[in-house]
Structure 1
Amino acid sequence: MPYYVDFKYILNESNAGKKAQNFLKSSLDKGIKDLKNVENKLQEEEKKIIQQKKILKPEEYKSKVDDLRSKVSNLQKKRNDLLQNISKKRAKAKNELLKNLNPIIEEYMKEKTIRMVIDKKSLLLADQNLDITKEILDRLNKKLKSINLE
């Protein structure tokens, strides 16, 4: 008889998973805040350029506009880099958790002579007595305290 584990629950509720999520969230929040500050400065710069349009020579105005466009483009690149970096770290955390989880499940299967464990998301209906998520989560929490995402 197959038993099941709620992998999503383990990823979200394990001590290491929670720490990783908190780290990723604070990294994202800090990155977004920094980008917002740069964006606000660029908006101020844009207002100044618009106000100076009539007093600047056309080539000076064009130069300032081109410079501003370059800064905006750079900001967009930084935003994309931030999101990509967070996404990579999230994938790394998930892989690290799963890498530590598999031996725990295998050991549990040997101890309890279980022949099959499946992910809860693949189930339509199952008896609650077949859910081994809690036992696996407890063992993972003892083995893996945190994940290094620096």
Structure 2
Amino acid sequence: MVAVVDVQLIMQESVAAKSIHKQLDAQRQTYQKEIAKQEDKLRGAEQELGRQRADLPPDAFEQKRREFEQQVAEVQRSVQTRKRVLDQAFNESMKKLHDGMLQVVAEVAGEQKASLVLAKQQVVLAEKSLDLTNPVLERLNKKMPTVAVTVPKS
């Protein structure tokens, strides 16, 4: 027997997928608050620099301007690093979910005596009785209700 599974639906709608998104959204909000504080600090430093422009000799002002630009560059690097960290955590978590889904697909396919399982997205037409998406999704939700997202400290 040939069967089909809607991999996209499972990877988006499973309880574990939703838990991954929830965990990453929480971490993203934490990062955004920290970055907003840094941006406020930079805006204050920029205003102070503007006020000092008339009072400082040109070389001293230039030095302070370079220091300010270094601070801006540091915040930009921090933002990029955090984005990479979140992307990596997302990819690792989704890989764990995908591996778990494949294991469940193999179990359900074995029980249904399916010798070939195709991704539904690759099939033009299939009889509903060949679709194992719901049994796979239900079992995956029971076996893997969550995937712990590991976000390294940056």
Q: TM-score, normalised by structure 2?
A: 0.89
Structure 2 SS opposite 1:3 = strand
Shift in Å at residue 36 of structure 1? 2.1
CA distance in 1, matches of 2:66, 2:75: 14
1:24-39 equivalences under 5 Å are 24-39=24-39
Structure 2 SS opposite 1:118 = strand
Number of residue-to-residue matches in the alignment: 150
Unmatched runs of 5 consecutive residues or more in structure 1: none
CA distance in 2, matches of 1:55, 1:125: 76
Match of 2:13 in 1: 13
Shift in Å at residue 125 of structure 1? 3.2
Match of 1:70 in 2: 70
CA distance in 1, matches of 2:59, 2:43: 21
Match of 2:123 in 1: 123
Query: Where in structure 1 do 4 or more consecutive aligned residues deviate above 4 Å?
Result: none
Q: TM-score, normalised by structure 1?
A: 0.92
Residue identity over aligned pairs, in percent, reads 24
CA distance in 2, matches of 1:87, 1:76: 17
Q: Deviations for 1:42-97, whole angstroms, at most 9, x for unmatched residues?
A: 12211110121010122221121111111111111111111101110111111101
CA distance in 1, matches of 2:16, 2:70: 41
1:87-102 equivalences under 5 Å are 87-102=87-102
Amino acid of the structure 2 residue aligned with 1:39: E
Contact 2:96–2:147, Cα closer than 8 Å, also in 1: yes
RMSD: 1.5
